[in-house]
Structure 1
Amino acid sequence: MCGRFTLTVTLDEVEMFLGVVGGTDFPPRYNIAPTQPILVALAGPPREPGSNLPDRQALLVRWGFIPSWAKNPKDLPLLINARAETAAEKNTFKAAIRHRRALVPASGFFEWKRQDEGKAQPYFVRPRDGGLVAFGGLMETYLDPGGSELDTAAILTTAANTQIAPIHHRMPVVIRREDFSRWLDCRSHRPADVADLLSPVEPGFFEAIPISNKVNKVANAGPDILEPVALAADTGRREAPDSTAGGQLDLF
């Protein structure tokens, strides 16, 4: 599950990491929530011989996938995640994983460890070595009955590794930098050709830092929500994240 994440570096850093140019500048974002705009990278049009232009493009999309066949998006659950193990088989995602695979840059993500009933301890999970990470994503453009287009995306998740599993049983799919081109190349690589990229990242890649329940409220969007807290034997009652963190079914 990935219900909130951060992107706190500069546009130049994102462009260098993803190998794209021409993105829309943005301020640091410490508490990105479902339905908000997120930045993704997609394969661009084929390059002409001798061209030095990048073959990837950056795009702002709505975090909340809407399949192209949907008649009324309000009838669907909020699809912020897609299960990597079944996405290629699900009618909702199979066209996107075949034709519109994406990269979602992040500085880290949030996860909540369920404790006793009504309690949850939030953690900020970030690359141990710092810098950016790219999550595997799927993109779809929804054409509403009025003729307007809406670009949407979901983040792929996989089974948690042994480090993250004590916090939550799912985690985002991490696409390594050396695999960006293969992941994005939907012309040459079918879903079966990139299935090996959907495994959990190795333990130790991330570090999980306990933080306060400030993150539970979308309105709390400053760097203070990342401040570590000490874990006590009894952390007391903690609020679960509000519903915009994504209460979707594990089916997806």
Structure 2
Amino acid sequence: MLSTNAIRNIVGIIGNVLSFALFLSPVPTFVKIWKRKAVEDFSPIPYLATFLNCMLWVFYGLPVVHPNSILIVTINGIGFVLEAIYLTIFFIYAPNRSRLKVLKILAVELVFMGSVVAGVIAGEHTYKKRTFIVGIFCVIFGSCMYASPLSVMRLVIRTKSVKYMPFFLSLTAFLNGVCWTVYAFLKFDIFVVIPNGLGALLGAMQLLLYFCYYRSTPQEETKGELQLPVSASMAPSAGHKEPKNGVSVQR
């Protein structure tokens, strides 16, 4: 019979695969940017947010903070690299004003991350305290990012169309949230449970909305391209182009 640690590792590996699929979901968008050599009205904010979130979770999973969390480090390390690639592509094809905005936000994120690392390593000398401090930051940023689909869900209800909420992306997001929640419960980790439990709940709500409004959506609209997330603060308003859907990932 498998031990709890063995089961947890298996669940974590499955979670890595699901998270990797979510991290790859923006690829069609960046292929389009690369082919058109223009970012048009595409926003880099979700990618910048995910970039910071991945850095926090990588730090959380390091042995100096929270030992025996290598699977958290691996997937968020991959996410960190992919987000860096996405941001590089955006930077290459963005106008100067957008480039400057990206550089400013990146600078703030790096200073913030450096301060967290230095403060935790130098100021706290036990795993428990380090885990608590970094975990709080991870929960805050992770929960905010998992709440990002709320704007798309509101759009689905308003338009009675699932055009901007692809089924398989929503399903993968739901399974990803469930998988990492189970992983966290097997060796209880409240800081992983909270954001991923929220992600599972929101993923389930997306699936419910999909089944409610699928029939009222023109069939040609259900084949839209996949996009990375829009944040809750970027919900569309009158006179603004409606955003595409996507999902943020964090462990």
| TM-score computed with the length of structure 2 as normaliser | 0.24
Identify the structure with the greater helix proportion.
Answer: 2
Identify the structure with the greater strand proportion.
Answer: 1
| TM-score computed with the length of structure 1 as normaliser | 0.24
